[in-house]
């Protein structure tokens, strides 16, 4: 095993907990930081995170606390695993208390509200002297904690960061692939949440396999178009952080966004669905931002426009579906010479 290092994972949700548990199991001095003093104390006492991953015992070597300074002091590697709306504040809290030599990795799959800023861009703005990357892929925390075979992607322009994350996170059941297109990987993780809502809605309405296959492939086309306009490599979307995460999130009821879509397809109001969910469904907020950005960039995204019309413009699902099926018919595979 590689030399043990000190690692901090900021955020006591399901994914942060799962990543921290891998690191501790791999023998690294790992602290899982939670904002809530009470939640941290409960997790320490029960040796599990009953709020987000009930029933799964955590590695006894995992430190759990609510003191941010203690968690990140002298840490060589810091994962930030908080929702996108909290990301900037947590990042700002790190100023002056972390080493400039510390590597920072975002695992948040979202876009900052109002500014259309990716999490890695927030890191660039707030911690410009630290090397940074993003971790994303088809990764349900519940299956990671169960030690099911899982692949993920670490994306950074700093090869040393990629190599470090690969070395500390890899295990017999968790494989880490490297990528040098952080914005593309990050956009994949954010955008797929929108399409998970679409696919969940279609499933609730009784859509067949033909429909599901069409939705998945056209979702991938929209993601690639948008990413290219944002300066990313559309080929990134053929990897785990693109099509892999899209397939996972759009076909499983373990996905919060898929469950939101399914409930919408059953006729339930959005406010009620979000309240009952009890966790963040990033796709709802991401949808608003992507819709406006697509207009600004003149990117053709009919599925995004259709879902926005249903959720925020009072349009009927059946009318939107008909419009999608009778709209512009374009090329099947983009980014090929026509």
Domain boundaries along the sequence of the chain: 6-180, 184-325
Domain 184-325, CATH class in plain words: mainly alpha
Q: Are 34 and 2 in contact (CB under 8 A)?
A: no
pLDDT at 179 over 80: yes
Give the burial class of 296: count Cβ atoms within 10 A of its Cβ; 0-12 exposed, 13-18 middle, 19 or more buried. Answer: exposed
216: left (phi over 0), alpha (psi -120 to 50) or beta: alpha
* Segments in 7-98 forming alpha helices (H): 14-25, 37-46, 68-72, 84-93
> What six digits make up the tokens of 18?
């799962």
Global confidence as pTM: 0.91
Active-site positions read 192
Residue 190 phi/psi, 5-degree rounding, is: -85, -45
What's the rounded mean pLDDT across residues 160-169? 98
Q: What is the pLDDT of residues 14-56, one digit of tens each?
A: 999 999 999 999 999 999 999 999 999 999 999 999 999 999 9
- The alpha carbon torsion through 6, 41, 15, 312 (nearest 10 deg) reads -130
Q: Residue 335 — very low, low, confident or very high, per pLDDT cuts 50/70/90?
A: low
* Domains 6-180 and 184-325 equal at CATH topology level: no
Multiple choice CATH, 6-180, 3.40.50.970, 3.40.50.720, 2.60.40.10, 3.60.150.10: 3.40.50.720
Say what percent of the chain tops pLDDT 90: 84
């Amino acid at each position: 095993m590689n030399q043990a290092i000190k690692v901090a994972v900021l955020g006591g949700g399901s994914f942060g907990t799962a990543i921290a548990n891998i690191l501790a199991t791999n023998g690294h001095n790992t602290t899982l930081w939670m904002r809530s003093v009470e939640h941290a104390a409960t997790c320490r006492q029960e040796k599990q995170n009953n709020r987000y991953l009930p029933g799964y015992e955590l590695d006894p070597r995992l430190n759990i606390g609510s003191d941010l300074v203690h968690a990140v002091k002298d840490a060589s590697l810091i994962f930030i695993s908080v929702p996108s709306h909290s990301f900037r504040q947590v990042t700002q809290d790190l100023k002056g208390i972390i080493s400039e030599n510390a590597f920072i990795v975002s695992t948040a799959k979202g876009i900052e509200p109002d500014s259309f800023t990716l999490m890695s861009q927030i890191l660039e703005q707030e911690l410009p002297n630290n090397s940074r990357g993003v971790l994303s892929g088809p990764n349900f925390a519940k299956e990671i904690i169960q030690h099911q075979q899982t692949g993920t992607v670490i994306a950074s322009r700093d090869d040393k960061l990629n190599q470090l994350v690969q070395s500390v996170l890899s295990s017999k059941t968790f494989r880490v692939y490297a990528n040098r297109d952080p914005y593309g990987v990050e956009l994949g993780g954010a955008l797929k949440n929108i399409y998970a809502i679409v696919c969940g809605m279609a499933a609730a309405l009784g859509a067949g396999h033909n429909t599901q296959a069409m939705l998945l492939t056209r979702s991938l086309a929209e993601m690639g178009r948008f990413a290219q306009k944002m300066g990313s490599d559309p080929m990134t979307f053929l990897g785990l952080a693109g099509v892999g995460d899209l397939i996972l999130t759009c076909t499983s009821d373990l996905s919060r966004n898929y469950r939101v879509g399914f409930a919408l397809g059953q006729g339930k109001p959005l406010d009620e669905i979000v309240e009952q969910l009890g966790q963040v469904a990033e796709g709802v907020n991401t949808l608003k931002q992507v819709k406006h950005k697509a207009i600004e960039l003149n990117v053709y995204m009919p599925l995004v426009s259709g879902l926005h019309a249903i959720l925020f413009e009072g349009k009927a699902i059946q009318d939107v579906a008909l419009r999608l099926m009778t709209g512009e018919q374009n090329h099947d595979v983009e980014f090929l010479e026509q």
